[in-house]
């Protein structure tokens, strides 16, 4: 099957597989949860967790905060080029600064 005929979730899995072919120590995932359905998000989260367990470093840049916080050990809130908050997901979601600048007061995780 041609890559251009794959669904969004299938494309994400293919992108990760291609990156793993070089046996990296770290991979960067740019917006991995964008434009995919909830089932594909859950599948991708499972893959990310399995890769973490195998010792692979994973850097994720994504605006889908809930999905990202569910798989990360550490998060950063960057605003106007500066790190405003960093730490484990629990620290980020409880930060008044992060809520004021990015998450919103009603953010639930």
Encode pLDDT of 1-45 as tens digits: 776 767 777 888 888 998 999 999 999 999 999 989 999 999 999
Distance CA 37, CA 109 (A): 19
Residue ranges, comma separated, of all CATH 3.40.50.300 domains in the chain are 1-63
1-63 CATH: 3.40.50.300
Q: Are 13 and 44 in contact (CB under 8 A)?
A: yes
pLDDT at 93 (0 to 100): 96
pLDDT at 10 (0 to 100): 84
Alpha helices in the chain (DSSP H): 8-20, 38-53, 65-69, 89-94, 96-98
Give rounded-to-5 percent helix, strand, coil for the chain. Answer: 45, 20, 35
Encode pLDDT of 42-61 as tens digits: 999 999 999 999 999 999 99
């Amino acid at each position: 099957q041609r890559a251009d005929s794959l669904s969004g979730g299938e494309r994400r899995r293919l992108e990760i597989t291609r990156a793993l072919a070089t046996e990296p120590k770290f991979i960067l995932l740019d917006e991995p949860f964008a434009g995919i359905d909830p089932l594909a998000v859950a599948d991708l989260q499972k893959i990310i967790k399995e890769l973490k367990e195998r010792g692979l470093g994973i850097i994720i840049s994504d605006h889908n905060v809930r999905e990202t916080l569910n798989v990360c050990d550490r998060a950063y809130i960057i605003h106007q080029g500066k790190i405003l908050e960093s730490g484990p997901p629990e620290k980020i979601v409880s930060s008044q600064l992060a809520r004021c600048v990015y998450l919103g007061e009603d953010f639930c995780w």
